[in-house]
Amino acid sequence: MEIEEQQYIVEINQVSYQYSSRNVLEQITMPIKKGAFLGLVGPNGSGKSTLIKLILGLLKPDKGTVKLFGEPVDKFRSWDKIGFVSQKANSFNSGFPATVFEVVSMGLYGKVGLFRFLTKRHKEKVKEVIESVGMGEFIHQNIGELSGGQQQRVFIARALVSDPELLILDEPTVGVDVSSVRNFYDMLSKLNKINGITLLLVTHDMGAMTDHVTDVACLNKHLHFHGNSKEFEDNKDLSEFYGHDVHMLTHNHSHGGH
Ligand SMILES: Nc1ncnc2c1ncn2[C@@H]1O[C@H](COP(=O)(O)OP(=O)(O)OP(=O)(O)O)[C@@H](O)[C@H]1O
Ligand SMILES: [Mg+2]
């Protein structure tokens, strides 16, 4: 039992889920090892965001179990070990009255309490994290005045500032240009390799993804594949189906006003 806790950060076991009697996920078993950088791919509507909500305890499985750090999700309380950036994080308009520094500081409130002052150490941590996502020069800028991709980096900084052991990102690169996507993946790789953070990344950027992740999971109601990225690339049928399908759908997706 103890060995299991060490080894797996997330254990999804035989999970099924339906929204109003329509099956969205069936019999998903997907353990995530400590230290993995797992890319989760699948066409629109394949259940990726639903699976993440199940991991975060926002939805309850109809069948099966979810464990986090060895504990059943409904008993789990150490939420500061988990950072999360949702698919629709990009929603600050230009009037939103908070600077990059302030938005990232919000990520510490779970630790320091909403109305307590940040210590000097906390402030340094906030600054350091902002720099690590390449946003140092914007630290005192209003969040609403940044581009979508820049805002996305700030949200990641906010998720990182409490030093999570697991970082979950649901399509963080929607609206981010191609060269920034590369930099962004390099940044995630560093977090994974150097800081040892376990990462779960939902993405449609197949090209950038396969160069960076350690493992890939392919979801389309069922989990069609879960293995290391080399096995995924060697499986031509799979990588073509998911690569092609996902690409086509992403194209429509991004012009359909997400
Ligand atoms: N709150 C909800 N109520 C009813 N059905 C839902 C709800 N949320 C999602 N669904 C349906 O469940 C299916 C899976 O949705 P989900 O958001 O998990 O897909 P996804 O893989 O994240 O897609 P995308 O790539 O577009 O983000 C879709 O068919 C969707 O219409
Ligand atoms: Mg989704």
Strand 37-41 with 63-68, pairing: unpaired
Is 12 within the bounds of a domain? yes
Per-residue pLDDT for 242 more than 90?
no
Residue 183 lies in a domain: yes
CA of 252 to the centre of ligand 1 (A): 16
Distance between CA atoms of 30 and 45, rounded to whole angstroms? 19
Among 15, 20, 23, 50, the mutation site with the greatest number of ligand 1 atoms within 8 A of its Cβ is 50
Which residue is closest in CA terms to ligand 1's atom 29?
45
In angstroms, the Cα distances linking 98 to 101, 140, 151 are: 8, 9, 12
Distances (CA, A) of 210 to 38, 53, 82: 10, 24, 24
What are phi and psi for residue 34, nearest 5 degrees?
-55, 130
- What's the 27 CA to ligand 2 centre distance in angstroms? 19
Is the beta carbon of 23 within 6 A of some atom in ligand 1? no
Q: Is the pLDDT of residue 5 over 50?
A: no
Quote the DSSP letter at residue 138.
G
If pLDDT is split at 50, 70 and 90, which confidence band does 210 have?
A: confident
Q: Work out how many domains the chain is built from and give that number.
A: 1
pLDDT category, 258, cuts 50, 70, 90? Answer: very low
Average pLDDT over residues 109-117: 64
Q: Is residue 99 part of a domain?
A: no
Q: Which among 40, 87, 70 is positioned nearest to 201, based on CA atoms?
A: 40
For the cut 80, the answer to whether the pLDDT of residue 81 exceeds it is: yes
CB-CB contact of 239 with 63 (8 Å) = no
Q: Is residue 115 part of a domain?
A: no
The answer as to whether 225 is a domain residue is yes
Confidence of residue 253 (pLDDT cuts 50, 70, 90): very low
Average pLDDT of the segment spanning 70-80: 93
pLDDT band at 116 (very low <50, low <70, confident <90, very high): low
Ligand 1 touching residue 24 (CB < 6 A): yes
DSSP tag of 225 = E
Residue 230 has pLDDT above 60, yes or no: yes
Residue 219 counted as domain residue: yes
Comparison of pLDDT for 209 and 71, the residue scoring more: 71
CB-ligand 1 contact for 50 (6 Å cutoff): yes
61 part of a folded domain? yes
Nearest residue (by CA) to ligand 1, atom 25, is: 44
Q: Residue 250 — pLDDT band, cuts 50, 70, 90?
A: very low
Which atom of ligand 1 has the smallest separation from the CA of 42?
21
Going from the Cα of 173 to the center of ligand 2, the distance in angstroms, rounded, reads 12
Report yes or no: 29 and 224 within 8 Å, Cβ to Cβ. no
Task: Tell me the pLDDT band of 9, cut-offs 50, 70 and 90.
Answer: very high
Summarised one tens digit per residue, pLDDT across range 138-197 is: 999 999 888 877 888 898 899 999 889 999 999 877 766 777 777 788 888 988 998 899
CATH of residue 182's domain is 3.40.50.300
Residue 102 lies in a domain: no
Mean pLDDT in residue range 189-213: 89
243: Cβ below 6 Å to ligand 1?
Answer: no
Looking at every residue in the chain, the average pLDDT score rounds to 85
pTM above 0.95, yes or no: no
CA-nearest residue for atom 10, ligand 1, is: 19
| Full residue range of the structural domain in which residue 14 is found | 2-89+165-255
Cα separation of 254 and 109, whole Å?
34
